[in-house]
């Protein structure tokens, strides 16, 4: 449920030197009627106080994202669901989940900042329909949370964030029992 505009976490008008972020609203269908839930991001951030992503998405909103563990991701990939890897191409090329498709969330990451891919949602839409079930992963699960939030906001209904990212996927693979012969 969206918090009222006068709650302590919200501000109708940002103070000087603050940025204002927009709430992400997710629509779900349940029992034949629409239900609305909202990710309530921090709506104001002072420059230098938090990263750009933290200004756009609060920890509380990111905790409410549909997230799966590596074993569930492995099951979904094994049954033919897409895996969208949002890491940079050079990281993707070093290793990725079987059948994963690379759609970088960032175009560049430098000490001066991160340049978000302005066509990210459009590029994912070229690979996945809005009703497809698919996984979004990065290296550790942080960047993929932001990507998952953007995709949910764009109307993708069944996107799942891979908690722990590709690292957890590799670790779960290493812990799989040896095949029976």
Domains of the chain (ranges, CATH numbers): 1-64 (no CATH), 66-174 (3.40.250.10)
Residue 10 appears among annotated catalytic residues? no
Closest CA to 84 of 34, 124, 44: 124
Three-state secondary-structure class, residue 163: coil
CB atoms within 10 A of CB 4: 8
Q: Which residue among the candidates 45, 55, 128, 138 is catalytic per the annotation?
A: 138
21 in Cβ contact with 42 (< 8 Å)? yes
Closest CA to 86 of 151, 154, 21: 151
Predicted local confidence at residue 60, as pLDDT: 57
Residues 67-122 have pLDDT tens digits of 999 999 999 999 999 999 999 999 999 999 999 999 999 999 899 899 999 999 99
In 8-88, DSSP assigns E strands to: 19-20, 24-30, 33-39, 44-45, 67-68, 82-85
Name the pLDDT band for 53 (thresholds 50, 70, 90).
low
User: Comparing 96 with 6, which gets the higher pLDDT?
Assistant: 96
CA geometry: angle 94, 99, 101, nearest 5 deg: 70
Contacts of 110 (CB under 8 A, 6+ apart): none
What's the predicted TM-score (pTM) here? Answer: 0.67
Question: What gap in Å lies between CA 35 and CA 27, rounded to an integer?
Answer: 6
């Amino acid at each position: 449920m969206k918090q009222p505009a006068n709650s302590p976490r919200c501000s109708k008008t940002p103070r000087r030197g603050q940025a204002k972020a927009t709430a992400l609203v997710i629509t779900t269908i349940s029992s034949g009627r629409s239900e609305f839930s909202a990710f309530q991001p921090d709506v104001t951030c002072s420059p230098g106080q938090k990263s750009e992503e933290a200004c756009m998405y609060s920890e509380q909103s990111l905790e409410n994202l549909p997230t799966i563990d590596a074993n569930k991701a492995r099951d979904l990939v094994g049954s033919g669901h897409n895996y969208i890897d949002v890491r940079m191409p050079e990281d993707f090329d070093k290793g990725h989940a079987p059948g994963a498709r690379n759609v970088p969330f960032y175009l560049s990451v430098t000490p001066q900042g991160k340049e978000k891919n302005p066509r990210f949602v459009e590029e994912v839409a070229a690979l996945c329909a809005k009703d497809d079930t698919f996984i979004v992963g990065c290296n550790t699960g942080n960047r993929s949370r932001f990507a998952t939030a953007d995709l949910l906001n764009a109307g993708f209904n069944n996107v799942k964030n891979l908690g722990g990212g590709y690292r957890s996927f590799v670790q779960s693979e290493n812990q799989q029992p040896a095949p029976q012969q």
